[in-house]
Structure 1
Amino acid sequence: MSACPLTQILLTNGWELQGQGVWDSEWLSVESVPTVVHLDLLKLGKIPDPFIGYGELDVEWIGERTWIYRTSFPSPQRTAGGRIDLVFEGLDTFAEVRLNGHTILNSENMFLEYRVDVGSTLKNDAVNVLELEFAPALLKGRELEKENSEYRFIAHNGETGRLGVRKAQYHWGWDWGPVFMTAGPWKPVRLEIFHSRIERLWVDYALNDGRCTLGGTLFATVSGRPARLRFVIEDEGESRSVFTETVDIDKGSEAKCRFTLENPKLWYPVGSGGQPLYKLSAEIIQDDQILNHVAIKTGFRDVELIRNHDTVGESFFFRINGIDVFCGGSCWIPADNFLPRLSEVDYRKWLQTLVEGNQNMIRVWGGGIYEPDMFYSICDELGILVWQDFMFACGSYPTWPSLLQNIKQEVAYNVRRLRDHPSVVVFAGTNEDYQIQEWYKLDYQESTDPQEWLKSSFPARFIYESLLPTVCGKEAPRVPYWPCSPFTGGGKDSGDQRIGDIHQWNVWHGTQEKYQRFPEIGGRFVSEFGMCSFPALETIRSFVKCDRELHAQSLTMDFHNKADGHERRIGTYLLENFRNTSDFETWVYLTQLMQAETVLYAYKGWRRQWGDSRRCGGALVWQLNDCWPCSSWAIVDYYHRKKIAYYTIKRAMRPLAVGVMREHKDWSQSHARPTKELEYAVWISSNQKMSFAADLEIRFISIASGKDVKPSIVKSGITVVENGTTEVLKGMVDGTWDDPYAVVARLLVNGECISRDADWPQPYKYIHFEERGLSLQLASEVLTVTVNKPVKGFTVEEQEGVALSDNGIDVFPDDQQTITLKGYRGTLDQLRYKILK
């Protein structure tokens, strides 16, 4: 009996939508699937744009209704012994699926793929009707909380009902995002017709003999008829096969074969080496016919999370193929509230932006989603390390048996999906849930029996310290697992700077320290920190309806900033450091400059500690991106307009970066009484694999006159150590304000300046910036900037279609700088820019 190749039929078009009790329950046309209700209603003009003004409030009712999607399709051609499956790659979230009036599936997890054999439910040679009825997750969450009242539901951000629902938690609202309770087939729906199918293909391997030999096993799980399976490994870069083997398989069994590669090409993070990829494929063969072909791309690498006891406490950093890697990067939230409108082009643009900013790690935060395959594939290609949280955030999660089973299925499915991506270097159980345990004094039992944990007031410990590591250990044993971000050891202070990773929110939140203190309040790995700022002016104009609301304290501006107490905190940090202004454009600029200064102190201070016996292993700013147009901690706003902080990080994370910093004295505590002298230090940070010679020039420049107040220091032939920090010199500067001056450092290699840094007296509000003598020249998209006196934060306004090589720069006399304005078609007179005044 002959078999047919697997065929897929995407059910993309011909859908309709109905809201129960809405618009007389009429059926509305749907443009295409994947989709969610908000997108369809917006396209149909049934709701206002929820991103404009207070539109969020106008669409809250959507999340409290039941919505039905339906479509019809002809029965596919059947073959003897064949199977027909309906596959739902993602349903958001509580869906009853009916085919020809028969319930074939009840889903309750947004993060799972569902597959149903519908051969007996399809009509013969007739049209079939498929209906997806989505119950409101908002109301279901509240019901589940009442039904399971023996648990203590605690949630920071959103309402407590979210804790029992396996749906993106940020949909309930967060301190940077609105409440949009979406529903719908948010991923593709398709039919599959087959006799035999490869369910999963994956690889396990080990690097041996000094990483000169790779020994591994290819695995494939196959359903359907017995067949032969051919495994192939191809070198993507050279487009050639390096391994082929064919094996016989029995029905429903797992096929596997061993392989060895000599001198394999190893995958490295960006900045540490190349990113060669191999294509692994498996195909089912019968009578010289290919019934199913499945392929994945992967890279081969070792990853270790190094946690060694040392004089400070315990290290926390990543080692890839034997190379220690300082992880300078960003945290990532979903890039839209309405996920189906994100394309591969969008993901590539975001991740390319990360790499262009000299960042090498992205942390997929636990209150969002497991991102689509293309996200991780792009990270593989670009060399971005991925810290992957599981989808739990800021809560004490309940653990009733059916929920645990649901979670176990979710975790197994997603770990299997992600495990072959070389970019994924750590799985973390949750975001900040151990802080909830600490704050609310929930039990952290000494018992080592996980079943006892389930009986405690912190039952979620069972998820993070038993369920998740068990699944990860089985499905992805070569990827490190970490119980939580942050985590310093259960039952201990999660803010301990000596061990584990920390979220350092004592700048902005907590004790609201001066941001100049960041270098001294870091940890072994800082996986969250940041400063809130306004987005670009053009982004603000996109959501503010009328000009009278274009001021810093308007209702619209406050509505588009969800951070609790943001008015006080932005105001406090601004007024502590900068002169007040009533000009809105200047206010926007100052918030961004403040954010840039904050991350500068953090990145250059903590990267410096990389050389101090790996005192700090990484810094991940909160956050790279936004899910809607707003004021937030993002360094690039929703419309992909870069803030000043983006460029600041780019400079601080150069492969070779000079750093200069004077000691911080809190002017508030000293009642603004000047300190006579302050110590300063100059160092060079490097991620290079070898040492080499460089020159360093240090100047002391009066801010008032632009003149050098004392002789420059020139250091020639400095030996820059590999992959670490070279401490160059320390000295003293005048701490008085009679004639304040900046300490300016330039790093030169072969006579070329490759890095600059400047340390300014703090705070900026005490400095007078009149008559700077700023001069600009524009030729062939290159802007040249010169000054007579020091300029702080020269910033060109971001424009659509214009890519800036740098921005927010400090400029000093006798050291002209250039910024490439790729795509700029205006004149010099039309160029809009700001400097600190």
Structure 2
Amino acid sequence: MKDVTRLDQGWSLHHDGEFLPARVPGSVHTDLLNAGLIDDPYLHTNENDVAWIGHRDWTYSTRITADGTHERTDLVFDGLDTAARITLGGTELGRTRNMHRTYRFDVTGLAGDLAVHFTSPYQEAAEVRAVTGERPNIYPEPFQYIRKTASSFGWDWGPTLPTSGIWRPARLEHWSTARLAEVRPLVTVAGGTGRVELHLTVERTATGAGRPLTVRAAVDGRTAETVLDGDTAVLTLDVPDAALWWPRGRGDQPLYDLDVTLADPTGPLDTRRQRIGFRTVELDRSADRDGTGFTLVVNGERLFVRGVNWIPDDTLVTRVTPERYRTRLTQAADANIDLVRVWGGGIYEDEAFYDTCDELGLMVWQDFLFACAAYPEEQPLRGEIEAEARDNVARLTPHPSLVLWNGNNENLWGFRDWGWEPELAGDSWGEGYYLGLLPRIVAELDPTRPYTAGSPWSGSWDHHPNDPDHGTHHSWEVWNRRDYTEYRDSVPRFVAEFGWQAPPAHATLQRALPGERLAADSPGMLHHQKAEDGNGKLDRGIERHFALPADFDRWHYLAQVVQARAVATGIEHWRSHWPRCAGTVVWQLNDCWPVSSWATVDGDGRLKPLWHELRRLYADRLLTVRPTADGTLEAALVNQAAEPWTTTLRLRRLAADGTAAADTATETTVAPRSVTRLAVPAALTPADGSAKEFLTADADGLRAVHFPVTDRVFAYPQPEYEVDVRPVPGADGIVDVTVTARTLVRDLLLQADRLAPTASADHGLLTLLPGEQAVIRLTGCPPVTPEAVRGALFAVEPF
């Protein structure tokens, strides 16, 4: 039977003639941090002080002993970051140049000092560039010439910290006769019967060559068995009445254990256990009168996707534990998100990521790792990219949460719009990967899932790559140049990226910038703003609706309000146009360090107001009021649930002081998975340009508001409210805050982290009418006074 020796102890990192204790998995940055030799690069401007690390070569070493009980011993690295030379006892075993692959070396009978010598990622990139020639990208870093995490070289939300190290587990595998080299289940469903088509590859020792082997597979009490004379086999198992795996909100997520055993007459040689789920997935890209659709269909049901983009949760990726994956993905699920797109500038995530998505019902859209650059198609990169794709497609096939493979992020768009085409002058740039190599690999290894060539991508060169009427669309004119209200100017078929920035929570900034007087343009704040003219865009976004405040606390609050409102404007508009628009994927869920960014959850794991807004926007039932093209108002009731929604829609035209000028109630029923649009009667519509009236819409506890003018023009009263604070009996650290409005209070926000870094609130932005109450529950909160709570409360004020 195969034995495994984990190589996670006894490693050293060579540094300036010394041997530092090293962790495996780990990286040079984390080892130097643990040794106290560098300061935390996430604090202050320390990132600049550690730039030298990425420009140096590094060596890791340990000692291994020989195994005398098995015919074969393999040295296995699940991930080496990135260009490395591996030696054992001074003899070279091999070289690597890809972070995203697994490597295996035969070390049978060998022992001694094992060393992994890493070349500087900058040096490796320079050597490849010298072979392939120059290619354009959007950042002044050479990430397209090396197969490592592109964003480790910096992005418009991330620090420049290119890492080196043994970043995934290392081990010795001792085995005899044969081992399971690949177990690749293709799972389908037809007529209620689940089918597992199990593709197997074995590797044999010399004595195992030609020996009959038995492979046995079992799932849900069904078994299949075959005698293997060669090195490959295909077994089929049928599971009648298989329980279907559904995306969250559509049903349950039953998972089945698939057990595979390889044996010879003496007994088992190797085993493998994987979890699988039965479901079908299709991508409907049919042409229609509006263009070309892009609709995910799971188990025959057409979905409006409620998604977010995912980046590495830490630039130092080895610090992301299974527990951290579960925390972050649970935050996504709790916000009613049902799809996570793993973005192409990051990594193929750890198994713990996909396991958690399987359990939570979070669909995964997986990018191949190409982003925002022209990628050479010549050697040595082409062979690496094919091996990388084959490795990861085979690895991820068991996961029912994985519903889509995507060729790249923005590279097809970049070729057409970003000046690459004339600059390349006919040189390769990646098209052969996205339209040739990758779809062939997916068709061969994983034909159960759809593939799309890129995001955005219209489906062919017959249309502009980012044409909103065809396929996927990235909406970045809004944020970069336009006001968020202009999201309403179009209805893309599927919005795969859009978003708006805001700073992180106040307590996150205090931790990242200790001792600094916080200001929008303070040195630390500017260093933690990586977007081009990021603060300028934040300021302009605020100024279009509010007077730009000089006070930092007020600026911080308004920036978060604008982020939440911007994303809400887009999602409300696009959801109301289902089924023409079949999904939104917000940029982005998470951050990799404490930074001003588009994230919903900041770099310390704190929820921005946008998270609470997403929970409302992505709920099965959504109510919104929006202007139409002819200048009238329309109430849209979106029902994504499986049951009809029968409700009373109450519309009120109110004066700024909260008194009602007109009031009506209408009974309506919204069919399942559909949208009902109702015209707002003229008598309920505030006069165009009025600074003294607004509209509220209420239905089953949902509220939408419409103000005919911007906040800086509207005649808001000074917000007045009462605050009551009561600890919850018997619940340590839990406090209920009751706010009673005496005037109109718009976008009330309790920033719980200002009361204590550990505190969090269960509500985000709230709009209250005079006399209304809201109860905000705080957790992780020490005893606080009403005065302290008032100091953490913010609301829109008159200008």
TM-score, with length taken from structure 1 = 0.89
User: In structure 2, what is the equivalent of residue 742 of structure 1?
Assistant: 694
Pick the aligned partner of 1:762 from 703, 709, 726: 709
Compute the displacement of 1:460 (Å): 1.3
Structure 2 Cα separation of the partners of residues 455 and 788 of structure 1? 67
User: In structure 1, what is the equivalent of residue 57 of structure 2?
Assistant: 66
Provide Cα deviations, 1:322-376, integer angstroms capped at 9, x if missing partner: 1111111211110111111110010001100001001111111000101111111
- Structure 1 residue 539 corresponds to structure 2 residue 539: no
Whichever residue aligns with residue 116 of structure 2, its letter is L
- Structure 1 residue 687 corresponds to structure 2 residue 640: yes
Pick the aligned partner of 1:508 from 479, 482, 493: 479
Whichever residue aligns with residue 232 of structure 1, its letter is A
Q: Which runs of 4+ in 1 moved over 6 A?
A: none
What does 1:146-185 correspond to in 2, within 5 Å? 146-149=130-133, 152-159=134-141, 161-185=142-166
Provide Cα deviations, 1:274-293, integer angstroms capped at 9, x if missing partner: 11111111012345743322
User: In structure 2, what is the equivalent of residue 330 of structure 1?
Assistant: 308
- Structure 1 residue 728 corresponds to structure 2 residue 678: yes
Pick the aligned partner of 1:75 from 47, 66, 72: 66
User: In structure 2, what is the equivalent of residue 250 of structure 1?
Assistant: 229
User: In structure 1, what is the equivalent of residue 731 of structure 2?
Assistant: none
Paired residues of 1:570 and 1:591 also in contact (CA < 8 A): yes
Paired residues of 1:434 and 1:484 also in contact (CA < 8 A): yes
SS of 1:408's partner is helix
Compute the displacement of 1:519 (Å): 2.5
Unaligned runs of 5+ in 2: 729-734
Whichever residue aligns with residue 623 of structure 1, its letter is Q
Query: Are the structure 2 counterparts of residues 555 and 547 from structure 1 closer, same or farther at C-alpha, using a change threshold of 3 Å?
Result: closer
* Percentage of identical aligned residues: 31
Structure 2 Cα separation of the partners of residues 649 and 803 of structure 1? 17
Pick the aligned partner of 1:36 from 27, 41, 66: 27
What does 1:180-329 correspond to in 2, within 5 Å? 180-195=161-176, 196-209=178-191, 212-224=192-204, 225=208, 226-234=212-220, 241=221, 243-250=222-229, 253-287=231-265, 289-329=267-307
User: In structure 1, what is the equivalent of residue 465 of structure 2?
Assistant: 494
Compute the displacement of 1:737 (Å): 5.3
Q: Using the TM superposition, name which of 461-470 and 275-284 deviates more.
A: 275-284
SS of 1:200's partner is strand
Paired residues of 2:686 and 2:694 also in contact (CA < 8 A): no
Paired residues of 2:752 and 2:778 also in contact (CA < 8 A): no
Structure 2 Cα separation of the partners of residues 515 and 686 of structure 1? 24
Structure 1 Cα separation of the partners of residues 414 and 237 of structure 2? 47
Whichever residue aligns with residue 794 of structure 2, its letter is K
Structure 1 Cα separation of the partners of residues 691 and 760 of structure 2? 38
Query: Are the structure 2 counterparts of residues 694 and 734 from structure 1 closer, same or farther at C-alpha, using a change threshold of 3 Å?
Result: closer
Query: Are the structure 2 counterparts of residues 494 and 735 from structure 1 closer, same or farther at C-alpha, using a change threshold of 3 Å?
Result: farther
Compute the displacement of 1:678 (Å): 4.9
What does 1:391-790 correspond to in 2, within 5 Å? 391-440=369-418, 456-491=426-461, 492-509=463-480, 512-548=481-517, 550-610=518-578, 614-663=579-628, 678-703=631-656, 705-710=657-662, 712-716=663-667, 718-732=668-682, 733-736=685-688, 739-748=691-700, 753=701, 755-779=702-726, 780=728, 781-790=735-744
Pick the aligned partner of 1:143 from 127, 135, 148: 127
Paired residues of 1:504 and 1:521 also in contact (CA < 8 A): no
Pick the aligned partner of 1:108 from 97, 116, 131: 97
User: In structure 2, what is the equivalent of residue 84 of structure 1?
Assistant: 73
Structure 1 Cα separation of the partners of residues 286 and 54 of structure 2? 48
Provide Cα deviations, 1:176-197, integer angstroms capped at 9, x if missing partner: 1111010000111100101232
User: In structure 2, what is the equivalent of residue 671 of structure 1?
Assistant: none
SS of 2:747's partner is strand
Provide Cα deviations, 1:222-263, integer angstroms capped at 9, x if missing partner: 2233432221103xxxxxx3x123322235x12332222221
SS of 2:384's partner is helix
Structure 2 Cα separation of the partners of residues 771 and 72 of structure 1? 71
Q: Using the TM superposition, name which of 650-659 and 181-190 deviates more.
A: 650-659
Provide Cα deviations, 1:282-308, integer angstroms capped at 9, x if missing partner: 012345743322111111111111112
Compute the displacement of 1:700 (Å): 2.0
- Structure 1 residue 806 corresponds to structure 2 residue 763: yes
What does 1:364-375 correspond to in 2, within 5 Å? 364-375=342-353
Structure 2 Cα separation of the partners of residues 268 and 778 of structure 1? 42
Provide Cα deviations, 1:731-783, integer angstroms capped at 9, x if missing partner: 342345555233212212xxxx3x22222333111124343331233442333
SS of 2:376's partner is coil
SS of 1:9's partner is strand
Whichever residue aligns with residue 628 of structure 1, its letter is W
Compute the displacement of 1:78 (Å): 2.7
Question: Would you say how many aligned residue pairs link Structure 1 and Structure 2?
Answer: 773
SS of 1:527's partner is strand
User: In structure 1, what is the equivalent of residue 118 of structure 2?
Assistant: 134
Whichever residue aligns with residue 86 of structure 1, its letter is L
Query: Are the structure 2 counterparts of residues 798 and 365 from structure 1 closer, same or farther at C-alpha, using a change threshold of 3 Å?
Result: farther
TM-score, with length taken from structure 2 = 0.93
Paired residues of 2:280 and 2:298 also in contact (CA < 8 A): yes
User: In structure 2, what is the equivalent of residue 119 of structure 1?
Assistant: 108
Compute the displacement of 1:157 (Å): 2.3
Paired residues of 2:690 and 2:708 also in contact (CA < 8 A): no
Query: Are the structure 2 counterparts of residues 494 and 826 from structure 1 closer, same or farther at C-alpha, using a change threshold of 3 Å?
Result: farther
SS of 2:235's partner is strand
Structure 2 Cα separation of the partners of residues 109 and 585 of structure 1? 45
Superposition RMSD in Å: 2.0
Query: Are the structure 2 counterparts of residues 281 and 801 from structure 1 closer, same or farther at C-alpha, using a change threshold of 3 Å?
Result: farther
Compute the displacement of 1:132 (Å): 0.5
Compute the displacement of 1:709 (Å): 2.1
